Amino acid sequence: MKIEHLVTMANQIGDFFKYFPNQAQAKIDIAQHLEHFWASSMRDQILAHVIEHNGAGLEPIVRDAIKEHISSNQKN
């Protein structure tokens, strides 16, 4: 899948959570959504994008959620 599409999808998820009062929990919730509803290959792609390109195009809360709560060894 094209990274641009994954970035758009991840930002749409982030839009739902970014105004939650507890931002730490919002990041966990974003990561959990990615873990539950994205294929591991999609998570690996977005994680690589964060690592290699500092998550260019991602909203800060989404980038931080991925950095803090997604690892490349998670299973589907």
Percentage of the residues of the chain whose pLDDT score is greater than 70: 93
Cα separation, 35 vs 37, whole angstroms: 6
CB 34 within 8 A of CB 10: yes
pLDDT in tens, 25-61: 999 999 999 999 999 999 999 999 999 999 999 999 9
State pTM to two decimals: 0.91
| Angle between the N-to-C axes of helices 60-69 and 40-53, in degrees from 0 to 180, rounded to the nearest 10 | 110
Cα separation, 20 vs 34, whole angstroms: 17
Position 73 scores a pLDDT of: 57
Q: How high does pLDDT run on average in the chain?
A: 94
pLDDT at 76 over 70: no
Report angle CA 24, 70, 13 to the nearest 5 degrees.
Answer: 65
Domain ranges of the chain: 3-69
